[in-house]
Amino acid sequence: MSSPPPSVPAASVLSVLDLAPVVPVVVVNEVEDAVPLAAALVAGGLPAIEVTLRTPCALDAIRAIADGVPDAVVGAGTVITPAQVPECVAAGARFLVSPGWTDVLLDAMKASGVPFLPGVSTTSEVVALLERGVREMKFFPAQAAGGTAYLRSLAGPLPQARFCPTGGIGPTYAPDYLALPNVGCVGGTWMLPEDAIAAKDWGRVESLAREAAALRPRG
């Protein structure tokens, strides 16, 4: 693998949206895959890594990446209960992502001391978060919830809101999202094909990550 980019000090992670154009959404089924997978993503130029809490070993994977890949900015995704928040932070998560939010979950994330992206899919949810002082959000499920047309329509009346669209986005659609003024990055899984993970082909993951890191708005 090529040399990874310079590490991002914990204190400097003020906005997940500005670390890279793409945040890989990672499902770790085997803890031993966590470090080499994260190292490949970082080497490819994608330092912000969202490990979803969809498997029993997710917290162990976050802990392994936090300890073993210092250049990674590892976060926890699919955070859906307040109890998960301190567990994730204790494991080493440097940001939190939820598919949706409630007042109780939002309070827990705000108290965590790390950046967070609560999920939204409606204008009312965006307005409610702005009312609570939250300006950075996850737009999910992006393609199903209206895609670029929906986010473009929000930019006029709600320019202060910024998004990380996730859900159904691949390399074909990503540049269109990244071209929007209210999108800082996108979340996706296309740089993590199941056959590459099964074969532990970390070189392929790094190559796909490098292509994703090079995505820029069109025109």
Catalytic residues: 50, 138
Backbone angle region of 146, left / alpha / beta, with phi > 0 → left and psi within -120 to 50 → alpha: left
In a 10 Å sphere around its CB, with 0-12 CB exposed, 13-18 middle and 19+ buried, how is residue 177 labelled? Answer: buried
Element holding 162 (H helix, E strand): strand 162-165
What is the biggest distance separating any 2 CA atoms in the chain, rounded to whole angstroms? Answer: 47
Spatial separation of the C-alpha atoms in residues 120 and 129, rounded to whole Å: 9
Q: Are 175 and 216 in contact (CB under 8 A)?
A: yes
CA-based nearest residue to 51, from 71, 73, 70: 73
Contacts of 75 (CB under 8 A, 6+ apart): 16, 23, 48, 49, 50, 51, 93, 94, 95, 96, 97
Spatial separation of the C-alpha atoms in residues 166 and 178, rounded to whole Å: 12
